[in-house]
Amino acid sequence: MIDNYTHENNNIIYVIESIPGPKESSQEYDEIINNFNSQLTDHCLCQQSCLKNECRCLEKLKTTNYVPYIKNKHMSVLNLDNGELSSNIIIECNDLCSCSNECGNRVVQKGPIEGLNIKKCQDEAKGLGLFSECHLPKGMFVCEYAGEVITKSEAIMRHQMNAAQNKMNYILCLQEHSAGNLLQWFVDPSKFGNIGRYINHSCEPNCCIIPVRVNTPIPKLAIFTCSDILPNTEITFDYGSFNNDNISENINRSKCLCNSKNCMEWMPYHVY
Ligand SMILES: C[S@@+](CC[C@H](N)C(=O)[O-])C[C@H]1O[C@@H](n2cnc3c(N)ncnc32)[C@H](O)[C@@H]1O
Ligand SMILES: [Zn+2]
Ligand SMILES: [Zn+2]
Ligand SMILES: [Zn+2]
């Protein structure tokens, strides 16, 4: 993975991928470590690139996860379903696959795109934000939201501490429904994180988060554009879109400063 971004603040440690949170004696923590240490065994035996009909990684899907961008064949975008982002689970080719590094099913694993800048937002209360200096087509991968993968109890504790100390909250809870089970992943990039930690919430976002797996069962929280983005635009996603447990009361919720026409006034609030 190539990721040459850095943090200006020396107290934040740059990690290019998510890492396990601090050691805990709990079954939940052991499961996180087991997941970090396990290798997904499904893989393909393709030579060079993977084609949907021949590749074991794509055969269940019957299509491809990504397609070359029409205007620049060197760029990949999501294989949109009738123009919309599909709800297919994305599994990329991994270290066990024999295809080349140039295979079209390797996108998120290659790291963030170039041309991302961390800048102060116009509204100072929103703090820093992430901006793209380039035009980005719909379906383009931007970067991961990488940080410490922590347990639910650690997430609740950190969330309460942040609220008590009036600190910004960076913890993202991703919920996945798989074979009747609910999987919850808590990622906190506040102290250890990548460039994705600077992405602010918007009620009319231009990006969304899609879980993408490569080598391990731990999903990468991959940020993709959900519309074309003009140069020098702030990258945003909807903090509430991947967790449906929003409460309707406004207790403990912060005012949303996204400035969009359809702003909901309050930031999404998660019940962990
Ligand atoms: C993941 S961080 C985003 C980067 C952050 N702005 C910074 O300066 O590092 C999330 C925090 O940013 C702030 N934030 C993000 N989107 C916001 C919005 N639409 N309105 C107000 N504050 C926002 C909130 O304090 C939130 O807890
Ligand atoms: Zn491949
Ligand atoms: Zn493969
Ligand atoms: Zn808003």
Q: How far is CA 75 from CA 9, 70, 79, 138, 171, in A?
A: 32, 9, 12, 12, 31
The confidence score (pLDDT) of residue 240 equals: 85
Domain of 79, CATH number, reads: 2.170.270.10
The pLDDT assigned to 22 comes to 96
Q: How close is the Cα of 197 to the center of ligand 4, in Å?
A: 18
Give yes or no for a contact between 189 and 148, defined as CB atoms under 8 angstroms apart: yes
CA distances from 161 to 148, 157, 164, 206, 265 (A): 16, 6, 5, 30, 24
Q: Which domain holds residue 42?
A: 20-237
Rounded average pLDDT over 7-34: 97
Measured CA to CA in angstroms, residue 60 lies from 39, 90, 238 at distances of 19, 11, 30
Q: Look at residue 11 and tell me if it is in a domain.
A: no
**Pair 40, 216: CB distance under 8 Å:** yes
Give the pLDDT band of residue 242 (cuts 50, 70, 90).
Answer: low
In a domain, 5, yes or no: no
Ligand nearest to the CA of 193: 1
221 in a structural domain? yes
User: In this model, does residue 270 exceed pLDDT 70?
Assistant: no
Average pLDDT in the 57-71 region? 91
For ligand 3, the distance from its centroid to the CA atom of residue 151, given in whole angstroms, is 31
Residue-level pLDDT at 251: 58
- Closest ligand 1 atom, residue 258 Cα: 19
User: Could you report the per-residue pLDDT of 91-109, keeping only the tens digit for each?
Assistant: 999 999 999 999 999 999 9
Residue 25 lies in a domain: yes
Q: Are 222 and 211 in contact (CB under 8 A)?
A: yes
Residue 191 within any structural domain of the chain: yes
Residue of 131, 188, 200 to mutate, ligand 1, most atoms within 8 A of C-beta: 200
Region 45-49: what's the mean pLDDT? 90
Q: Which backbone phi and psi does 59 adopt, to 5 degrees?
A: -65, -35
Structure tokens at 229: 């983005």
Number of structural domains (the chain) is 1
Is 10 a member of any domain? Answer: no
Residue 139 CB coordination number (10 Å): 21
Is-contact 46 103, C-beta < 8 A? yes
Q: pLDDT at residue 125 above 50?
A: yes
- Segment 141-170 shows an average pLDDT of 95
- Asked if the structure places residue 211 within a domain, the reply is yes
Query: Residue 257 falls within a domain, yes or no?
Result: no
Residue 243 contacts residue 270 (beta carbons within 8 Å)? yes
Write down the pLDDT at residue 258. Answer: 96
Residue 103 has what pLDDT?
95
Percent of the chain with pLDDT over 90: 79
Ligand 1 site residues, Cβ closer than 6 angstroms? 126-129, 168-170, 197-198, 200-202, 254, 256-258, 267
Indicate the pTM of the whole model.
0.94
CA neighbor of 118 nearest in space, from 228, 238, 13, 9: 9
97 Cα to the center of ligand 3, angstroms: 5
Between 112 and 179, name the one with better pLDDT: 112
